[in-house]
Amino acid sequence: MSTRQGPPKHQNKVAWKPHAGQKINETEVGGKFRPYSDITGVCARCKDQIDWKRRYGKYKPLSEPAKCQRCSKRAVRQAYHNLCTSCAKEHGVCAKCCCKTDKIVGRDITEVEAERKAVEDALKHARERDRRTLLRAMSKGSSEPKESEGSKIIDRSREGELFPAKSIDEYVAQAVENNIRDQQDSLICN
């Protein structure tokens, strides 16, 4: 074994890239348009390991849910996890190495779910005008709208682009439907 210390003698100038020179289909899982989902429910060490696989082109996403090693249900939805989310949470362990840890990486999936539900509820009960503002903010992400609020209200001709649905309720229903579809899609994304 080498006892040499310090940085490598011939350090790469540019970080190594997997599949360099190969054309990537950006609409495939892991491409620009369908990025991998966040690594959650594991300890920091396992997160690093999964992250390494992603960075070096070794990551193999799950095509269908895997069996949980504790409850034997097909409920493991993230690649390289050994336990399902509920088992890992119940025992307070990392979903990959099953070590007891109090530092779990990423947000709790049930927490995220609850938050989304809260937003949907808020949308249902909000006034029409507030709903529009909220939906617009959500669809734009964090970026601030460049046009002023006033000009948007006057310019009704462009509303069809922003709201393909006939009514706000229809739009919310569509959004919920899309969410369900996204959830199904995320199976392959993980």
The CA R_g of the chain, rounded to the nearest whole Å, is 22
Q: Which stretch binds Zn ion (CB under 5 A): 24-32, 71-79, 103-111, 141-149?
A: 71-79
Q: Where are the beta strands (DSSP E) in the chain?
A: 66-67, 74-76
In whole angstroms, the minimum distance from the beta carbon of 29 to Zn ion comes to: 23
- Can you name the residues that pair with 42 across neighbouring β-strands? 105
Is residue 39 near Zn ion by the rule CB under 5 A? no
Alpha-carbon gap, residue 26 to 139, rounded angstroms: 21
Q: Which is nearer to Zn ion, 29 or 68 (CB)?
A: 68
Phi, psi of 98 (to 5 degrees): 65, 20
Site for Zn ion in 91-120 (CB under 5 A): 94, 96-97
Residue 133: which region, alpha, beta or left (left: phi > 0; alpha: psi -120 to 50)? Answer: alpha
68 scored as a contact of Zn ion (CB under 5 A): yes
Q: How far is the CB of 60 from Zn ion (least distance, A)?
A: 18
What is the residue whose two structure tokens read 């249902």? 124
Q: Which residues pair with 100 in a beta bridge?
A: 93
71 binds Zn ion (CB under 5 A): yes
Chosen residue from 54, 70, 136, 152 binding Zn ion by CB under 5 A: 70
Residue 46 interacts with Zn ion (CB under 5 A)?
yes
Tell me which of 29, 84, 105, 135 binds Zn ion, using CB under 5 A.
84
Nearest by Cα to 52 from 15, 25, 88, 83: 15
**Residue span binding Zn ion (CB under 5 A) among the ranges 51-59, 87-95, 145-153, 166-174:** 87-95
Binding footprint of Zn ion on the chain (CB under 5 A) = 42-43, 46, 68, 70-71, 84, 87, 94, 96-97
